[in-house]
């Protein structure tokens, strides 16, 4: 295969020095006339900035990757919608990986940083294994993790606070008079699953409600699995008057099951989801949900990565985004009917964003 | 920055020839003892297959890109879920771009093929401009287009048949006795928008129904815009008894508006969407929708690209996937209640997939 144009052939065509071509192509100050000649020659020759040549030279690809756990979960969509414009404004193209939360695939993406097709990576793993930590520590490009990592891990990190989030939801259900609040969770070996299980137990305790494993069911973070788990829970304990669900997809599955069973939401069973995705506002009835600030977390991760690309030596930072409860028809049917201002509206209980900290 | 290990340093450490290292790293048949030595040396030196070195050598990155128009539209999700396993099985990692159907961003992705960070590209543009065609013709890596391109374009191409799809929907509504069938479309300057507008007119004509621009409204392919367009249409022409919507997101917006207006679906207004996304089965009431075979189109595109990567010289191929109508509660409420077998079930009118053709 014939090689394309190079700095040498452009210099020859433009009648300028190789150093001048290099200055122009790297955007360094150069005489106007030289810039004109070089760009004209480059265009005539069909020169394409070549990632191979560029990465050999500057080790910059002007691409950044975001590895999501599940492209089908609107949480990641909300993140992409924030990450992409922040990076685009800074001159980076975003490439996405969908890992299906498969550890081997996440490790493969971390490994691929050695191949230098991106300048940095934002990753949102559901499970953080020792293999993850080892790869992060030795990664060939900066990594930002969205999700909780063990204390002391030296990595830029954006966290949700699902513990507080679960408490907001349980408090809300308690205040509505619900006393038999079931819990439909995702896998306990995931970081969010474990955190939400602990938070559910604590929140019940704070309100003086007994923990009853009869009304707790573990499935997975998808709609069909959520429906299956909710069905199992309701078959076993038909007397629950509320269901706390560990994400919106599970909650939508629970709504499917309640409707099929002829139960009224929220009169018979109130339902709360988590993540406040687009689906929560759009479902019927609309779904009360705990926002864990997906959009804010995406934006914060993009900003941390840009800061890191500009300064590789500063201390890693942790940004924690505070949760808020968005109340809709699935818990407060009447209030929602009185209060809605539009299809995505909802009464919100806001806790301001915590500022960026200097902690590890 | 110190350079990492190279073929030379591995050869030195392993005490074998450079040619032997190259054979092992490229997976060519080599003596077992040599393989062992080389891999041990490579691991000791922390060798990472380097995309720069590899692409200079073999011009293969073992990555493939899929550029979607809108990561928020489950159509592309359905495609990704087929494309990813097909490519993974063949040893390729999938990277995704979400272009928001912005032509400049699609052109940028086509341009970036010159940077050789992927071996090939699957792209699904909503608008095919001359700039697209020029870039496709000169692309530095193979491209597969999902969507319609002008006749005679030399590119591997996967097409839907939305014309037949719209006809299936209108026939269904006609058979249900609907005679005033409104149409909520996406932009007419997009390939699908233009095709569906033409198909709607033809289908009415075939059934002897008059074309009335009063009951046609153009918005965009998103839920909020679909709701806005449906509201405008209903305000102007309250007597419509059915709404044909150019995709599922528009149809969900229309359902929102009909519910807010206190109209019953399907008794007062029957609604049909298009694309048969996960949202259609999950909406309440569940949505009758024309499947344009997103999953089949994704799979076909991945297979065309793999075939192309194995044989750069064969004739471009066109695969057309046939539509089918999936009937649910939004048009056939009673039938759906009688007929459902599960949350995602639906009566389907199947037209078998057309086989791969050798055209154009």
pLDDT digits (tens, 9 = 90+) for A154-182: 999 999 999 999 999 999 999 999 999 99
Q: What is the pLDDT of residues B22-47, one digit of tens each?
A: 777 665 556 778 877 887 887 777 66
Domain that holds residue A40: 7-48
Q: Are residues A207 and A342 in the same domain?
A: yes
Q: What is the pLDDT of residues A313-333, one digit of tens each?
A: 899 999 999 999 999 999 986
Q: Would you give the DSSP letter of residue B46?
A: T
Q: Are residues A99 and A219 in the same domain?
A: no
Taking alpha carbons only, the member of A316, A336, A317, A334 closest to residue A326 is: A336
**Beta carbon pairs, A and B, within 8 Å:** 110
Most confident of A273-277, B14-18, B345-349: A273-277
Inside any domain, residue B354: no
Q: Are residues B251 and B168 in the same domain?
A: yes
Inside any domain, residue A86: yes
Judged against a pLDDT cut of 90, whether residue A349 lies above it is answered with no
The pLDDT value recorded for residue A28 is: 59
Taking alpha carbons only, the member of B156, B153, B128 closest to residue B143 is: B156
Total tally of structural domains belonging to chain A: 3
Residue B49 — pLDDT band, cuts 50, 70, 90? low
DSSP A158-216: EE--HHHHHHHHHHHHHHTT---EEEEE--TTSHHHHHHHHHHHHHHHHTTPPP-GGGE
**To the nearest whole angstrom, how far is the Cα of A265 from the nearest Cα of chain B?**
14
CA closest to B100 among chain A residues:
A81
Evaluated on CA atoms A281, A283, A288, A289, the torsion sign reads negative
Tell me the two tokens of residue B88: 């993974």
Average pLDDT, chain A: 86
Q: Are residues A184 and A260 in the same domain?
A: yes
The pLDDT value recorded for residue A346 is: 38
Q: Are residues B179 and B309 in the same domain?
A: no
Q: Are residues A227 and A286 in the same domain?
A: yes
Inside any domain, residue A303: yes
Which one of B95, B108, B223 has the shortest CB-CB distance to A96? B95
Residue B355 — pLDDT band, cuts 50, 70, 90? very low
Would you call A63 helix, strand, or coil by DSSP? strand
CA closest to A51 among chain B residues:
B115
What's the rounded Cα separation, in Å, for the pair A98 and B120? 18
The pLDDT value recorded for residue A57 is: 44
Antiparallel, parallel or unpaired: β B242-245 and B270-274? parallel
Inside any domain, residue B53: no
From chain A, the residues in CB contact with B97 under 8 A are 93-96
Find tokens 């401009």 and name the residue. B129
What's the rounded Cα separation, in Å, for the pair B80 and A48? 29
| Interface predicted TM-score (ipTM) | 0.72
The CATH number for B87's domain is: 3.40.50.2300
The pLDDT value recorded for residue A247 is: 96
Q: Are residues A240 and A269 in the same domain?
A: yes
Q: Specify the higher pLDDT residue, A183 or A25.
A: A183
Which one of A51, A59, A343 has the shortest CB-CB distance to B116? A51
Between the alpha carbon of residue A26 and those of residues A9, A41, B49, the distances in Å are 17, 15, 27
What's the rounded Cα separation, in Å, for the pair B338 and B15? 75
Inside any domain, residue A304: yes
Q: What is the pLDDT of residues B180-213, one digit of tens each?
A: 999 999 999 998 999 999 999 999 999 999 999 9
Q: What is the pLDDT of residues A279-290, one digit of tens each?
A: 898 888 899 999
The secondary element (H helix, E strand) that includes residue A68 is strand A63-68
A77·B81 Cβ contact <8 A: no
Inside any domain, residue B241: yes
Q: Are residues A74 and A42 in the same domain?
A: no
Q: Are residues B178 and B114 in the same domain?
A: no
Q: Are residues B226 and B148 in the same domain?
A: no
What's the rounded Cα separation, in Å, for the pair A251 and A227? 8
What's the rounded Cα separation, in Å, for the pair A151 and B94? 32
From chain A, the residues in CB contact with B252 under 8 A are 282
Inside any domain, residue A354: no
Q: What is the pLDDT of residues B71-130, one digit of tens each?
A: 888 899 999 999 999 999 999 999 999 998 899 999 999 998 988 889 999 999 988 999
CA closest to B106 among chain A residues:
A93
**To the nearest whole angstrom, how far is the Cα of A72 from the nearest Cα of chain B?**
6
Q: Is the peptide bond before A234 cis (omega within 30 degrees of 0)?
A: no
Q: What is the pLDDT of residues A34-70, one digit of tens each?
A: 877 887 887 777 665 544 444 444 557 899 999 999 8
Between the alpha carbon of residue A65 and those of residues A84, A148, A184, B104, B210, the distances in Å are 10, 19, 32, 20, 52
Q: Are residues B231 and B277 in the same domain?
A: yes
Inside any domain, residue A179: yes
Q: Are residues A176 and A259 in the same domain?
A: yes
Length of chain B: 360
**To the nearest whole angstrom, how far is the Cα of B245 from the nearest Cα of chain A?**
18
């Amino acid at each position: 295969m014939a090689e394309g144009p190079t700095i040498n052939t452009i210099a020859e065509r433009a009648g300028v020095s190789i150093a001048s071509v290099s200055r122009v192509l790297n955007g360094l100050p150069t005489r106007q006339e030289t810039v004109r000649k070089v760009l004209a020659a480059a265009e005539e020759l069909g020169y394409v900035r070549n990632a191979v040549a560029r990465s050999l030279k500057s080790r910059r690809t002007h691409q950044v990757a975001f590895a999501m756990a599940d492209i089908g979960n609107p949480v990641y969509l909300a993140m992409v919608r924030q990450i992409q414009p922040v990076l685009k404004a800074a001159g980076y193209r975003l490439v996405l990986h969908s890992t299906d939360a498969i550890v081997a695939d996440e490790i493969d993406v971390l490994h691929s940083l050695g191949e230098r097709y991106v300048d940095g990576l934002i990753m949102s793993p559901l499970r953080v294994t020792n293999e993850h930590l080892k790869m992060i520590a030795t990664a060939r490009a900066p990594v930002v993790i969205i999700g909780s990592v063990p204390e002391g891990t030296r990595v830029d990190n954006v966290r949700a606070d699902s513990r507080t989030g679960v408490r907001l939801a349980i408090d809300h259900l308690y205040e509505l008079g619900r006393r038999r609040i079931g819990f439909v969770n995702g896998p306990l070996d995931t970081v969010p699953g474990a955190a939400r299980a602990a938070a559910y137990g604590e929140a019940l305790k704070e309100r003086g409600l007994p923990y009853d494993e009869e009304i707790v069911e573990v499935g997975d973070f998808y709609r069909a699995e959520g429906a299956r788990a909710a069905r199992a829970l309701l078959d076993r304990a038909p007397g629950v008057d509320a269901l706390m669900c560990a994400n919106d997809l599970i909650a939508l599955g629970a709504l499917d099951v309640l409707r099929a069973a002829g139960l009224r939401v929220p009169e018979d069973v109130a339902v709360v989801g988590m993540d406040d995705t687009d689906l929560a506002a759009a479902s019927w009835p609309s779904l009360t949900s705990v926002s864990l600030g997906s959009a804010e977390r995406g934006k914060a991760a993009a900003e941390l990565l840009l800061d890191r690309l500009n300064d590789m030596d500063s201390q890693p930072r942790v940004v924690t985004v505070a949760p808020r409860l968005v109340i809709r028809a699935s818990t407060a049917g009447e209030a929602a009917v009185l209060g809605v201002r539009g299809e995505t509206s909802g009464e919100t209980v806001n806790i301001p964003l915590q500022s960026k900290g200097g902690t590890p």
